[in-house]
A and B are shown apart, each in its own frame.
Chain A
Amino acid sequence: MRSSQQDIELLEAYIKGALDKETHTELEKRLAAEPDLFEDYKDLKVMIQGIRAHTLDEKYKQLKRLEDGLDNTTTIKKNDSFLKMVFLVVIVIALLLTISKFLLQNDTSKDVSFALNDDEFYRYVLHRTERSTEMDIDTQKTMAYNLFVIKDFKKAKPMLTTLWQERKDTLSYFYLGITELSLGNKEKAQKILSSNALDLYPVEDLLKLCE
């Protein structure tokens, strides 16, 4: 740049169209007469437009970066949604499993408040449970005992009661005590299990459960 700072400022104003008529005419005369000034004028014009082109290029690249950022956010959002969906599916499966387990438990034990686990319970099954090839003559007793063994206490209860009341079957009475305990009727269970009729039965631990 051979022109002075003052001349450059003049050229800038000329390019912007900011000169008054007189200065404008004077400068045009100088541009025609001074090759160095004219050279700087041409360069200045190109450089100003170069600055503009570069600025727009930067702006364009900035928008590309913004788009990349949005893309990443969308991917993260998509991943987020996917994780949320997986989480939801896991929750639903867990819920279904819990419900089905609960239903299954209800179905097998039929009763909710049974206080004995399987090992403890079968300790108190005192009748013979093998299959017999002979005709079973005491069907009522067999049915009551079988219902007790499969822990269908609700159905077993009236049959065991009848067997005790009508036939004074002490084993039925003992089973009835466990049945009441299993159905959550602790008071009734305690009354039955502490009865003299069951002196010979292993009621000690069961009575503790009735407290």
Chain B
Amino acid sequence: MNPVDWIDEIKNNEEEALTSIYKMYRDDCIYWLQKSYSCTRDEALDIFQSTLVILYDNVKREKLTKLTSDMKSYLMGIAKNKALEMIRTKKKSTYLKPLNSWVDYVNEDQEEAILEEQLLAASKALSRIGDPCKSLLQYYFYQNKNMEEISELMGYKNADTAKNKKYKCLKRLQLLYYRHKD
């Protein structure tokens, strides 16, 4: 039996792939984090979940195109960094910043840092815009799908219709962004 190509699976069937990976490596990873970094179970679980989100992001942004080791080692590599980051944060302050905002993580990647408030405002704007704009913008700007694929996915007449729709959605997003920014 051939080993599963997880990267391909995440690209084409993300829900099922992530669920499978989650179930497969969850217990081992949590146990390892608790043992190696003296995390509580909740902290270890949080790190593991963040690890999977990072894996997903790396695949979608084509930062990860091929695994050089097995999936478990790859996940543990990310989890290790997350655990060390958590320890550093704990040492600095008794206040542990929640991991559930991905604004900081996204900002770390940027050549020029964007103001945190701006990024938060843009993220909130997307949550307010609703579908179909939200899905369309996510398909185009995050999943890197082209207009043909999007028109098929969203049931538009053709790629041009999707393109016009995207422009309108972007305009609406900008309006909402300004509202949240101010």
Contact = CB atoms under 8 A, between A and B. Distances in A.
Do A and B interact?
yes
Interface of A: 1, 5, 8-9, 40, 43-57, 59-64, 66-67, 70
B105 interface: yes
Contacts of A5: 163-164, 167
A49 B109 CA distance: 10
Given A57-B101, A60-B99, 20 more contacts: A1-B171, A8-B167, A43-B174, A46-B121, A47-B174, A49-B119, A49-B122, A50-B123, A50-B125, A52-B106, A52-B141, A53-B101, A54-B122, A54-B126, A55-B142, A57-B100, A60-B53, A63-B53, A64-B49, A66-B22
B39 interface: no
B53 A53 contact: no
Contacts of B102: 52-54, 56-57, 60
Q: Is the interface of A mostly helix, strand, loop or mixed?
A: helix
B122 A56 contact: no
21 contacts: A9-B163, A40-B174, A44-B170, A45-B114, A46-B114, A47-B177, A49-B107, A49-B114, A50-B126, A51-B142, A53-B101, A53-B106, A54-B127, A55-B138, A56-B102, A60-B49, A61-B100, A63-B22, A63-B49, A63-B53, A64-B49
Contacts of A52: 57, 102, 106, 141-142
B34 interface: no
Contact of B110 (A44, A49, A63): A49
A131 B129 CA distance: 102
A46 B119 contact: yes
B173 interface: yes
A5 B106 CA distance: 27
Interface string B133-164: 00001100110000000000000000000011
Interface in B91-128: 99-103, 105-107, 110, 114, 118-123, 125-127
A159 to B, nearest CB: 73
Nearest to A48: B141
B108 to A, nearest CB: 11
Contacts of A48: 141
Contact of B170 (A46, A47, A64, A70): A47
Contacts of A43: 174, 177
